[in-house]
Amino acid sequence: MDMNFLELAKKRKTTYEFGNKKIKDSDLKKILEAGRWAPSCSNSQPWHFIIIKNNYLIEKLIMTANYGDFHNEPSVMIAGVLLQKRCIGKKFACYKGKDSGVYDSFMSIGMTILNMNLEATSLGIDSCIITPKQESVKNLLRIMPQDYVPLILALGYEAKGAFHKKRERLSLKEITSKEVFNKNDTK
């Protein structure tokens, strides 16, 4: 599938029902490579990926999702594990200033999952990103207490006749301001 980036971004959607078709190992490797090349805070690469193909474990992982579920399980899931030992600063923050309220390493995991998600889309593979409940997912995947699994990427091929949410976006006028924030632009 050959498309420019904006076409790819618009094509990406959340899949709620997966069919039985399996993902080729060669495609899975490309998806993982896309995650590996995501940017990270100070190039810390604070991630580890767990590839899950076991149907029983996939079913259990879906039940850890903070929202949503699937009618048919995906053929593969990739858990993005945030390893505390690879993080630069304390509490998963890279920035050392007192104003940083964002944990940069969590954003790094988000970028790996997005890269993998977009690579899957470019290969014609459907996906869904889930946010698991930490206690449950850590037990299932045997994750160390100091580490986290902020996101899991579910991959597969959409089932025929699958449910779709309406895909719409606010206009650029509704989500942009010029030079400074303008609350009148947020109506």
Residue type at 152 in one-letter notation: I
What's the CATH number where 27 sits? 3.40.109.10
Query: Could you tell me if residue 76 is inside a domain?
Result: yes
What pLDDT is recorded for position 95? 59
Query: Could you tell me if residue 182 is inside a domain?
Result: no
Residue 146 and residue 84 in contact, taking contact as beta carbons nearer than 8 Å: yes
Query: Could you tell me if residue 172 is inside a domain?
Result: no
Tokens of 106: 């969590």
Beta strands at 126-130 and 47-52: parallel, antiparallel or unpaired: unpaired
How many domains, in total, are found in the chain?
1
What pLDDT is recorded for position 187? 56
Distance CA 59, CA 61 (A): 6
What pLDDT is recorded for position 67? 72
What pLDDT is recorded for position 66? 76
What pLDDT is recorded for position 23? 98
Query: Could you tell me if residue 181 is inside a domain?
Result: no
Domain that holds residue 84: 5-161
Residues 119, 122, 127, 133: what is their CA dihedral angle, to the nearest 10 degrees? 20
Query: Could you tell me if residue 17 is inside a domain?
Result: yes
Query: Could you tell me if residue 141 is inside a domain?
Result: yes
Side by side, the strands of the sheet bearing 126-130 are 47-52, 76-82, 148-156, 126-130
3-state SS assignment for residue 88: coil
Give the C-alpha distances (Å, rounded to integers) separating 119 from 16, 37, 165: 19, 11, 22
pTM of the model: 0.90
Query: Could you tell me if residue 179 is inside a domain?
Result: no
- Which mean pLDDT values do the consecutive 10-residue runs of the chain (187 residues) have? 84 92 98 97 91 96 80 92 81 59 80 97 96 96 95 96 88 91 69
Query: Could you tell me if residue 129 is inside a domain?
Result: yes
